[in-house]
Structure 1
Amino acid sequence: MTGVPASAAGGSSGARRAAAGPAGRSRPGGNPGGEAPLTPVSGGTADSAAGGVADGIPGSTPHGVSRAVPSDDGGDGDGHPARGKKIAAAAVNQASVWNIANLLTMLRLVLVPAFVALMLADGGHDPAWRSFAWAAFAVAMITDLFDGHLARTYDLVTDFGKIADPIADKAIMGAALICLSVLEDLPWWVTGVILGRELGITLMRFLVIRYGVIPASRGGKLKTLTQGVAVGMYVLALTGWLATLRFWVMAAAVVLTVVTGLDYVKQAIVLRRQGIAERKAALEEMEA
């Protein structure tokens, strides 16, 4: 047998007695025929002397040679994670910033100054320029509907998207409302109510995030849609019954803005109370 000393291959009587148990049977872990155990070949992890386990995998390879078995988390078999996979994952995460969802968010950010320029062009009351401004606003609102859906559906959520998406939403809506109020097409109090609610709820979400996340409600989504339609109608130079219609659409948007804002405040208060109660219970349990 290759790699086995001659004396062991021949099998001394002492070796045979050590390997054999009562009634001449081999003991667990012994080699048949009284052969001495083979030394594991260098390059693999040695089996455990107690159970013959190599790297946590029961059993051993033929002739006692241990193999490095890759772990489930991409390790190298010795319990160390594969560096190459970590580097590759980091590269993928960095490259994922330039996905379609983030590109739509960036487009919406670029459209904000373009919208303002079109809205205020030629004194801000030219129907043609207002139509171009409406087109920019409409594209921005449509991309707002798709970028979040794409990010969640195709696992394209990134830190950049989490920060830039709400900023782009507030920027385009705020720019439109302020421009309309500057041009005296929309009362300032309407702009103040809508922007105050949006900024206040955003700040409140950050304040209670330690206790949990306030999910978007159906009323909030309906509010966003109604605001977009109302502001879009005000951006256009409408006359007649359409001008009357946009007034009522904006009134509905203001009502939904206030009602959903109060609902979010209620949810935040309940969430905070629950969080405080859970922390207090946890502390009492630890002290007990």
Structure 2
Amino acid sequence: MTRDERRLVSPWNIANVLTVIRLALVPFFVTCLFLPGPGWRLAALGVFAVASITDHLDGELARRYGLITDFGKIADPLADKALTGAALVSLSILGELSWWVTIVIIVRELGVTVLRFWVIRDGVIPASYGGKVKTVLQIAAIVLYLLPFAPDPLRWVVMGAAVLVTLGTGVDYVWRAVRLRQVAKRARGE
């Protein structure tokens, strides 16, 4: 699809609507997580699972039906960060996840977001394959922490893998942002 064809795609398409729904589910997830009782914990898990599924679904629909927009390229990762960030902070507040894990992941996520906006005039950095793996690992780790019966060693191993991939892909985004800026400067004759 050419850049001109992308301009014709409305930002209010099903893929972007799913992204906005994911953002809207974040406060419901957090509310359920903090309400007392195992039923609310399972409700939080359900809301988190639905929101996580929309992440896969919106991307699949956007690619399959040519609904990729600049809004989606920016809003989709922000929605992911809002959902996982809210989950990590909430789990840390509840004393179930070490704060250092939450801080490392959130600092990386904020750093990548700042990078995306830093280079936005030069182009959009789309999600990489490593970024998708990072998201899957973070979601899997959070699900394990939300499940009341998941064994701690399994939680720690999956969260550890999520932290390592999160840091590795952060370095990759820095590299891609620097390259994008260099290419754009050369194209502008700077």
Range class of TM-score, shorter chain: 0.7 to 0.9
Among candidates 12, 29, 39, match of residue 115 of structure 1: 29
Match of 2:17 in 1: 103
Measure the CA separation in 2 of the matches of 1:215 and 1:105.
15
| Deviation digits for residues 201-255 of structure 1 (CA, Å, limit 9, x no counterpart) | 111022123334334322111111101100111112135xx22101100000000
Asked if the contact 1:121–1:129 (Cα under 8 Å) also holds between the matched residues in 2, the reply is: yes
| Deviation digits for residues 73-111 of structure 1 (CA, Å, limit 9, x no counterpart) | xxxxxxxxxxxxxxxxxxx977x72x4323322321221
Among candidates 208, 220, 223, match of residue 119 of structure 2: 208
Measure the CA separation in 2 of the matches of 1:274 and 1:217.
19
Query: What is the one-letter code of the residue matched to 2:60?
Result: H
Asked if the contact 2:9–2:67 (Cα under 8 Å) also holds between the matched residues in 1, the reply is: no
Displacement of 1:167 in angstroms is 3.0
SS in 2 for 1:272: helix
Measure the CA separation in 1 of the matches of 2:184 and 2:19.
33
Match of 1:238 in 2: 149
Match of 1:152 in 2: 63
Measure the CA separation in 2 of the matches of 1:161 and 1:217.
15
User: Is 2:41 the counterpart of 1:127?
Assistant: no
Match of 1:259 in 2: 168
Asked if the contact 2:73–2:126 (Cα under 8 Å) also holds between the matched residues in 1, the reply is: no
Please provide the CA RMSD for this pair: 2.3
Q: So what's the TM-score if we normalise by structure 1? A: 0.58
SS in 2 for 1:111: helix
Displacement of 1:155 in angstroms is 2.9
Asked if the contact 1:201–1:261 (Cα under 8 Å) also holds between the matched residues in 2, the reply is: yes
Q: Which 5+ residue runs of structure 1 have no aligned equivalent? A: 1-91, 284-288
Measure the CA separation in 1 of the matches of 2:75 and 2:187.
33
Asked if the contact 1:127–1:236 (Cα under 8 Å) also holds between the matched residues in 2, the reply is: no
Measure the CA separation in 2 of the matches of 1:234 and 1:210.
39
Match of 1:88 in 2: none
Displacement of 1:197 in angstroms is 0.8
RCO higher in 1 or 2 (8 Å CA, sep ≥ 6)?
A: 2
User: Is 2:190 the counterpart of 1:276?
Assistant: no
Match of 2:104 in 1: 193
Measure the CA separation in 1 of the matches of 2:130 and 2:147.
26
Measure the CA separation in 2 of the matches of 1:202 and 1:121.
31
Match of 1:64 in 2: none
Alignment size in residue pairs? 183
Structure whose CA Rg is larger: 1
Query: What is the one-letter code of the residue matched to 1:110?
Result: A
